[in-house]
Amino acid sequence: MANARSGHWLSILAFALILLKTEGFNVEITYVVSAVAKGAVCLDGSPPAYHMDKGFGAGINNWLVHIEGGGWCNNASTCLARRDNRLGSSKQMVKQIAFSGILSNKQKFNPDFYNWNKIKVRYCDGASFTGDVEAVDPKTNLHYRGARVFLAVIEDLMAKGMKNAANAVLSGCSAGGLTAILHCDKFRALLPVSTKVKCFADAGYFINAKDVSGAAHIEGFYSEVVATHGSAKNLAPSCTSSLRPGLCFFPQYMAQQIRTPLFIINAAYDSWQV
């Protein structure tokens, strides 16, 4: 009986994997080499990168910019730990990734966005694209430049046609979802006034809660992220004018001031939040 049941579940799992596999398609990486001269670089100094699938048909002037997630690094040791992996260096990123879900090009899987220009921006700064420290520590060669990376990537996409966008969505998951919230109005401001702009954060509304031991762990952690990356000047001024910069990394203290339409999805059973 147990065997029959696990066999049953295995076949369902196999079927689900086949579905996922057929849904996804590989998209080549693009390095934003011109960003390096602007100091807009990953933690290790390598150029930022994204994957882009061109829009077609009625979606040709619509743009979905999706930001990859991957946690944060809060000090030189944790940033050093990711400097030489894909979350800190475009040299370590795979050349192709599979687009699926909101990035799928199949109408039946992705009815709203399948024919849009779809971009997945690779995460390689460790601070949800908020950092900007001019000085590079010669010992570690760490670059805290996430905010410059965000700007350089958007400028590159503008040159590739996003300047003519009829609709544009900034989205992201996890730390990338937080990016979509923190940068929502900035993204809006970079696009023409005629473009309809919206932001969408999936599992990116991180709350300021005490952990199971009762410690304000995440609050201290975010304060360190903001201090290490020099993020304060790139957080919402409406928040930093009255609260400590570390708090302004939490959507709950700044999202009310966002003027661009913002959509939030956070699962009730998100294990990280729980």
CB atoms inside a 10 Å sphere around CB 269:
7
- State the nearest-atom distance from the C-beta of 238 to ligand NAG, in Å: 29
Nearer to ligand NAG, 74 or 234 (CB): 74
Site string for ligand NAG, 92-131 (x = CB under 6 A): ----------------------------------------
Q: Is 228 in the site for ligand NAG (CB under 6 A)?
A: no
Structure tokens given for 120: 């997945």
Q: What tokens were used for 199?
A: 């932001």
Nearer to ligand NAG, 3 or 77 (CB): 77
> Parallel, antiparallel, or unpaired for β 49-53 and 117-121?
antiparallel
Shortest Cβ 68–ligand NAG spacing (Å): 21
Side chain identity, residue 65: V
Letters for 131-160 (x = contact with ligand NAG by CB under 6 A, - = none) are: ------------------------------
Cβ-Cβ contacts under 8 Å for 29 (sequence gap 6 or more): 49, 50, 51, 90, 93, 94, 95, 96, 97, 122
| Rg of the chain, C-alpha, whole Å | 19
CA nearest to 24, candidates 109, 95, 92:
109
Minimum distance, C-beta of residue 145 to ligand NAG, in the bound complex (Å): 20
Buried b / exposed e along 6-42 (16+ C-beta atoms within 10 A): eeeeeeeeeeeeeeeeebbeebebbbbeebbeebbbb
Q: Which residues, 54 to 83, sit near ligand NAG by CB under 6 A?
A: 74-75, 77-78
- Tokens at 192, concatenated: 């023409």
Kindly state the smallest distance separating residue 204's Cβ from ligand NAG, in Å: 20
Least CB distance from residue 220 to ligand NAG, whole Å?
A: 8
Shortest Å distance, C-beta 224 to ligand NAG: 7
Distance CA 186, CA 182 (A): 8
Contacts of 31 (CB under 8 A, 6+ apart): 47, 48, 49, 90
> Which of 77, 241 has the CB closer to ligand NAG?
77
Q: Minimum Å distance from CB 39 to ligand NAG? A: 25
Tokens of 248: 């302004």
Q: Which is nearer to ligand NAG, 78 or 223 (CB)?
A: 78
Cα–Cα distance measured from residue 158 to residue 195, given in angstroms and rounded to the nearest whole number: 12
Nearer residue to ligand NAG within complex by CB, 74 or 195: 74
Contacting ligand NAG within 206-225 (CB under 6 A): 221
Closest approach, Cβ 259 to ligand NAG, in A, equals 34
Size of site (CB under 6 A) for ligand NAG: 5
Which of positions 156-185 make contact with ligand NAG (CB under 6 A)? none
Residue among 140 and 266 whose Cβ is closer to ligand NAG: 140
Task: Please say whether the beta carbons of 177 and 169 come within 8 A.
Answer: no
- Which residues contact ligand NAG (rule: CB under 6 A)? 74-75, 77-78, 221
